[in-house]
């Protein structure tokens, strides 16, 4: 691991030390690494050609809004390649919350999330995305579907940016 020295004025250092304390870091080095990772990941996610991501899209909507529930389901089905899972919660008599786990090209995930959050009746939408590397490997393991015949297949493996 390489080391480097950073000079900070007293005010910025006090604010950083307060941040470290609030977040529960053991030392400044861990905090600096996480802050740098976050800045670099945000920069990568802002780039239109930034590769793959895994994301959590959460939003609250009024299910009484005309055809909104149907439009949201249709949008998810139209983007089934991005949507891995959706959790639906009833908050009260009118409002629901949905949380969708998405994975795919960052630009496609962002466009889908923006379209969902732009629907009339959707409120409080947020997308939290993390850049990942997706590697498809030929896995030579088999699954027995109960018919006595093993079925080989490959799995995509998701790797987040390594913590250093």
Please state, in angstroms and rounded to a whole number, the distance separating the CA atoms of residues 134 and 114: 23
Residue boundaries of the structural domains of the chain: 10-46, 52-136
Helix/strand/coil percentages in the chain, nearest 5: 35, 35, 30
- Asked whether residue 100 carries a pLDDT value surpassing 90, the answer given is yes
Q: Report whether pLDDT(152) > 80.
A: no
User: What are the binding residues?
Assistant: 77, 88, 90, 96
Bigger pLDDT: 144 or 1?
1
Residues annotated in a binding site for Ni(2+) = 77, 88, 90, 96
Residue 34 has φ and ψ, to the nearest 5°, of: -65, -40
Q: How confident is the model at residue 153 (pLDDT cuts 50, 70, 90)?
A: very low
164 has pLDDT over 50: no
Which overall architecture, per CATH, does domain 52-136 show?
Answer: 2-Layer Sandwich (3.30)
| Angstrom distance (rounded) from CA 34 to CA 131 | 14
Residue 41 is predicted with a pLDDT of 75
Token output for 124: 């409080």
- What is the rounded CA–CA span in Å between residue 162 and residue 2? 16
The pLDDT > 90 percentage for the chain reads 42
Residue 160 contacts residue 55 (beta carbons within 8 Å): no
Task: Determine the length of the chain.
Answer: 164
Residues 6+ away with beta carbon under 8 Å from 82: 102, 103, 104, 108, 109, 112
Q: What is the DSSP letter of 75?
A: H
């Amino acid at each position: 691991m390489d080391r480097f020295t950073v000079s900070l004025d007293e005010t910025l250092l006090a604010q950083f030390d307060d941040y470290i304390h609030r977040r529960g870091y053991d030392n400044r080095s861990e905090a600096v690494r996480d802050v740098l990772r976050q800045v670099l990941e945000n920069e990568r996610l802002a780039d239109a050609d930034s590769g793959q991501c895994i994301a959590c899209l959460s939003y609250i909507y009024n299910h009484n809004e005309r055809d909104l529930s149907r439009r949201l389901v249709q949008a998810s089905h139209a983007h089934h390649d991005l949507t891995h899972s959706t959790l639906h919660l009833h908050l009260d008599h009118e409002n629901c919350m949905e949380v969708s786990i998405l994975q795919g090209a960052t630009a496609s995930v962002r466009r889908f999330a923006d379209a969902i959050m732009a629907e009339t009746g959707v409120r409080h939408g947020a997308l939290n995305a993390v850049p990942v590397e997706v590697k498809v490997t030929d896995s030579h393991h088999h699954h027995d579907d109960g018919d006595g015949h093993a079925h080989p297949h490959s799995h995509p493996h998701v790797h987040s940016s390594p913590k250093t």
